[in-house]
Structure 1
Amino acid sequence: MTTQSVLENLTAKLPLGVCVLNDQMEVLYWNDFFADRLNISSDDVKGQNLLTLFPNEAKYLKKKINSVFVLNNASFSYWEHRPHVFLFSSSRPITGEETLMYQNIEFLPLDVTDNKVKTVCMIVQDVTELASYYQGQKELSEQLSQEHNALQELNRKLEEAQNQLLQADKMAAIGQLAAGVAHEINNPIGFINSNLQSLEDYAVKLLKLVNFYEKVVHKTQNKTFIALQKDMQERMKYQFIREDMPELVAESIDGINRVSEIVKSLKAFSHVDSSEWQYADIVEGIESTLKIANNELKYNVEIHREYQQQLPKLFCQPMQLNQVFLNLIVNGAQAIVDKGHIYITVSANDNDYQVAIKDTGCGISKSAMHKIFEPFYTTKPVGQGTGLGLSLSYSIVQKHKGNLVVTSEPNVGTTFTVILPILTPEQLLPEASAPA
C-alpha cells in the first residue's frame, strides 16, 4: 500500500469531519464523517455548493470561509458560541443517548499560491462529550449554589419572627444592588455608546472620502494612479473591510443598547430612585419583572399580555408588588413541564386593580390548595424551594389591603388573581396622616 493511499484511507476514517472547498464554495472532498451523516459520498458531493447543502447556516459559513480566502488566516467556530453549526447527531459513549452534536470547527487555508488562497479545509470536531461535561459541571455548581442559598435563606427566615421584616431587608438589598449596578455600569456604557456613535459617523465619512478619492483618480485617466490604487486596495483587503466595518460597529452599538436595557429593567424592578410607598405604573412593573425573569421563561414559555388601556397609577409599594409578580410568574413557569403559555391580564375599575396570571402548567391538587399560602409549604424537591414565596406574596397583598385568589385544575393550569383596592395614602397609611 502506497503512502498516498494510506493517507487517503486515514483521512477518510478520521473521527473528524474533513471538507475541502474551492473559492466558489464548491465541495472538492469530504471524508466518511460527512458522508455517513448525510448519506452522500465524497464522489457524489463533488462540485456541489456547500451553502446550498446547508442553507440554514449558509450566512454564517460564508462569513467564516470568506475570511480565510480574504485574509489568508485560519478562522474558528467554538461550541460555546455556536453549538450546532451542522445538525449532526452524536451518541454518548456510555449511555448511547442520541443528542445533537456540539462542534468545534476550524477553517484553514489549504492551497496557497502567491499569497492567494485557492482552497480551504474545514475540520469539524465532535466535542459533545466535553460540552456535556462542562454543562453538567455548570448545572451541578448552580444547583449547589442554589441549595446553599436556599439553606441560608431558610436559616435566616427561621431566625426571624416576622417574615415581613425579612422581606423588607431582602428588597432593600436588591435596591442597593440595583443602585450600585446602575451607577457602576451606566457611566462606562454612556461613554462607550457615545464613542461608538462617533466611530460610526467617522467610518461613514471616511468611506465617503475614499469613494471621492476613487472618483478623482479615475477622472484623471492616469493608468499608473489607477493601478496603484487597485494594488493598494487589494493588499489592504479594502473591499472586505468596507463591507465588514459598518456591521461590526452596528453590532457593538446593539450590544451596548441591550446592556443599557438590562440595567434599566433592574433599576425599574427595584425602584431604587424612589421612596417605598408611591404612585406607580403596575404594567411598567410587570414588564420590568418579565425582563428580570426572562431566564426562567425564554426556553419553554410564551407570554401573552392583555392590558387595559389608560390604567390609573396605584399608590403602593412597587418593589414588593414586583416581588409578588415575580413569584407568581416564576411559579407558573416552573409548573410548565415542556412548553406552555402564561397569560397576564391587567384591568381596573373605580374600586380596584385586578392582575391575573394564568399558566398552562400541571395545576394544583385539591389537597394542596388549602396549604399553598402556609409558610414553608412546598411541593418542590429539597433544595429547589423554601415554601415562602406564596406566603410572602399573600402577606404583601394583604398589607395593600388586597386579596390573592387562586383557581386551579390539575393538568390544565392555574390562575392567580391579585386584587388591589384603589385607595388614597390616608386610607392605606392612616398612621401617617394621624396628628402627632
Structure 2
Amino acid sequence: ATGASVNPLGETTEEQLETSHRKLAEAHKMASLGRLAAGIVHEINTPIGSILSNNETIRRSFESLRKLLSAAAEQNQPPPPRTLAVLETLASLTDIDKIACERIMGIVRGLKTFARVNESDIQKVNIHEILINTVKLTNCVFRRRINVAMEFDENLPQVECYPGLLNQVFLNLVVNASQAIENEGNITITTRLEGESVQISVADNGTGIPPEVRPRIFAAGFTTKPIGEGTGLGLTISREIVEDTHGGKISFDTEMGVGTTFHVWIPVRQPRSQENG
C-alpha cells in the first residue's frame, strides 16, 4: 500500500503531527498563563478593591443626601449648599469606578484573545489590537519595572492570520524580553509594512544573547532559564506558528550588554485566501 500511514483513530501521519503541534501549543499557552496568573490576579484585585471602597462611600453619600433633601423638604426650603458638594463627590466616584471597570475589561479582553489559540479559521485583523492586548497582559507582571513603548505604523493594512496563535507568539517575545532585563529597562514594539508582509519587532535593552547560545535559540527544549521557569518550547512554537502556520519569518539581532530585537514577518494575505479571492 502507498500513501501516508494511518493510526487506529483514522489520522494520517501528517494529521497526527498537526494534532501533536496543536497540543504542544496549547500546553505552552497554559504554562504561559500560569506564569502570568499571579500578576493578572493582582491587577484585577486592585481596581475591584477600589470599586468596593467607592461603593461604601457612595452608599454613605446617598444616605447623607437623602437626609439633607428630607430636612429641606420638611421646612419648604431649597436644597442646602452641601447638596452640591455631595453630588460632586458621587460624580467623581462613579468616574473612578468606570475607569476601574474599563481596566478590568481590558485585562479580560486580553485573556479572551489569548485563549483563542485553537481558532480554525483565518481572520482579517488589525495586528495592533493583538499587540495592545499582549502588552496589557504583560503589564500585569512587570509594569512598574519595565516601560513598554509602542511605535506603530498607523497605515498598516489588516492581516489575514490566526489571531490567537499570533497573540501567543507576541506574548512569548515580550515576556522573554522582560526576562532579559535584569532591573529597570525598556521594551519597544514597532510595526511597519515591508513588501507584502507586516514586520513586527520587539526590542529590549537587556543583557543580550551569548554567542554560544544563539545557534540553539529556536531548538526544542533549549532554555537558559532555571528549572521550573521555562518549558524551552516558547521560541520553537513561535517559529512554527510564524513560519509553518503563517508562511512568515522570524529572526533576531543581539549584542551583549546592549539588547536583543526579535523580528517577525507575517504575510498580509495567506495563500488559501489568495486562491479564494
Q: State the TM-score, normalizing by the size of structure 1.
A: 0.46
Paired letter, 2:269: L
**One of 308, 327, 330 as aligned partner of 2:172:** 327
Q: Deviations over 1:132-151 (max 9, x none)?
A: xxxxxxxxxxxxxxxxxxxx
In the alignment, structure 2 segments of 5+ residues that lack a partner are: 1-15, 32-50
The equivalent of 1:420 in structure 2 is 266
For 1:336 and 1:273, the matched residues in 2 are separated by 31
Q: Contact 1:377/1:388 (CA < 8 Å) preserved in 2? A: yes
Measured against aligned partners, the alpha-carbon deviations of 1:46-96 in whole angstroms (never above 9, x if no partner) come to: xxxxxxxxxxxxxxxxxxxxxxxxxxxxxxxxxxxxxxxxxxxxxxxxxxx
Consecutive unaligned residues in structure 1, runs of 5 or more? 1-159, 175-192, 221-228
Matching residue of 2:114: 269
One of 401, 404, 409 as aligned partner of 2:247: 401
Whether the aligned pair in 2 keeps the contact of 1:343 and 1:357 (CA below 8 Å) is: yes
Count of residues paired in the alignment: 233
Note the aligned Cα RMSD (angstroms): 4.1
The aligned counterpart of 2:236 is 391
Tell me the SS of whatever aligns to 1:327: helix
**Aligned match of 2:101:** 256
Trace 1:104-143 onto structure 2 (pairs within 5 A): none
- Give, in angstroms, the shift of residue 304 of structure 1: 1.1
Letter in 2 for 1:417: H
Cα distance between partner residues in 1 of 2:148 and 2:30: 29
- Give 1:165's aligned residue: 22
2:136 counterpart of 1:291: yes
Write out per-residue CA displacement over residues 267-319 of structure 1, whole angstroms, 9 at most, x where no aligned residue.
Answer: 23344897531111111000011111122321211011111112111111111
Change (3 A) 1:425 1:374: same
Question: Structure 1 residue 391: deviation in Å?
Answer: 0.7
Deviations 1:19-65 (A, max 9, x none): xxxxxxxxxxxxxxxxxxxxxxxxxxxxxxxxxxxxxxxxxxxxxxx
Asked if structure 2 preserves the Cα contact closer than 8 Å seen for 1:296 and 1:333, the reply is no
8 Å CA contact 1:324–1:396 kept in 2: the answer is yes
Q: How does 1:280-319 map to 2 (within 5 A)?
A: 280-319=125-164
Amino acid at match of 1:298: R
| 1:143-182 equivalence runs, <5 A | 164-170=21-27
How far is 1:265 from its partner? 2.4
> Residue in 1 aligned with 2:46?
none
Q: Give runs of aligned pairs for residues 234-253 of structure 1, distance below 5 A.
A: 248-253=93-98
- Identify the structure with bigger relative contact order (alpha carbons < 8 Å, sequence gap 6+): 2
- Cα deviation for residue 353 of structure 1 reads 0.7
Displacement of 1:409: 0.4
Residues of 2 paired with 1:390 and 1:417: CA distance?
12
Could you tell me which amino acid in structure 1 is paired with residue 106 of structure 2?
A: E
Residue 253 of structure 1: CA displacement?
A: 3.9
